[in-house]
Structure 1
Amino acid sequence: MKQFREAVEARDTDAMEALLAPDVVFTSPVAFKPYAGKAVTAAILRGVLRVFSDFRYEREIVDGPQSALIFRTKVGDTDVTGCDFITVGDDGLITEFMVMVRPLRGATALAEAMGAQFDQILAEASAAESNTEQAVEGQSR
């Protein structure tokens, strides 16, 4: 998905978040259970930007509403190759986001680095959800 790729390459977290559907499902390469919702997915993506260095997309394959964005990056001093599998809904927002990485050493480095980020990720997601709930309450008054 061109817009997401451009947002990531610009490290524009607001633009990345704006492309997420409210009920987006994020499937991590290092967690068993998918994460559901815009707030937690956006927080995970911000965390990823903090742990990836020398990130670059190398190829994009598009088939209707589905895209595969192949990337290379580093986690610490470990080289990682991966792919973002993105599905968009009729409204153009991302409904499914699955990440796969290799080699195993890279997945392990990513799991460790994201694990160190996870308290911050959960705090950011919780704050975003609270802000959204307050905005909705304010609009209904």
Structure 2
Amino acid sequence: MNEFRVAVEAGDFAALGDLLADDVVFRSPVAFTPYEGRPIVAAILRGVGRVFTDFRYVRELEDADGQGSALVFETYVDGTSVNGIDLIRLDGEGRIAELTVMVRPLSAANALATAMAAEFTQIQAEAAAAMSGETA
């Protein structure tokens, strides 16, 4: 999805919320249970924007039906090199219905888990504020 890629490459993680379906499902590389719903997923993506440095997409693959894509990326989390893939599936309205992120190697997943754990209080506050119509 071009709009997603452009926003992420520009570091505009706040803009990603507008691209998400209301019932979006996010599968994290460091959490077993998926996150569901625009408020929490948008807040998680903003948190990701705070922990990634020197982010870049290096390859894009698209499904034959045009409703899905895989974006291969490289970035750093606290100095640890991360290789990963964003798997995106769109709904009938062109919004992101599913987002699955995979990262490697294990040291990268561990660095990401630690960094995101430190962000999670803010992520939860942002999601709660969005659900109540406030600004966190």
TM-score w.r.t. length of structure 1: 0.91
Identity between Structure 1 and Structure 2 (%): 59
C-alpha deviation, 1:72, in angstroms: 0.1
Alignment of 1:112-123 (within 5 A): 112-123=114-125
Unmatched segments (≥5 aa) in structure 2? none
Equivalent residue runs for 1:6-45 within 5 Å = 6-45=6-45
Q: Which amino acid aligns with 2:39?
A: A
**What CA deviation, in whole Å up to 9, does each residue of 1:85-122 have, x standing for no partner?**
00001110000000000000000000000000000000
Aligned equivalents of 1:126 and 1:15: distance in 2? 18
| Compared CA separation, residues 14 and 46, structure 1 to 2 (3 A) | closer
- Aligned residue type for 2:90: V
* 1:53 corresponds to 2:79: no
**RMSD value over aligned CA atoms?**
1.0
Equivalent-residue separation in structure 1 for 2:13 and 2:78 (angstroms): 21
1:94-105 equivalences under 5 Å are 94-105=96-107
Residues 47 and 116 in structure 2, CA contact (< 8 A), matched pair in contact too: yes
Q: How far apart, CA to CA, are the structure 2 residues paired with 1:5 and 1:54?
A: 15
Q: After the TM superposition, which parts of structure 1 deviate over 6 Å for at least 4 consecutive aligned residues? A: none
What's the counterpart of residue 136 of structure 1?
none
Measured in 2, the distance between the counterparts of 1:66 and 1:12 equals: 21
- Which of the pair has more CA radius of gyration? 1
C-alpha deviation, 1:9, in angstroms: 1.1
Residue in 2 aligned with 1:71?
Answer: 73
Q: Is the 8 A contact 2:20 2:95 kept in 1?
A: yes
Amino acid aligned to 2:71: L
How many aligned positions are there?
Answer: 132
Q: 1:48-83 CA distances to partner (integer Å, 9 max, x unpaired)?
A: 000000000111111121100000000011000000
Residue of 109, 120, 128 corresponding to 2:130: 128
> More helix per residue: 1 or 2?
1
- Distance in 1 separating the partners of 2:72 and 2:110: 19
Aligned to 1:81: 83
Range with greater deviation from structure 2 (3-12 or 40-49): 3-12
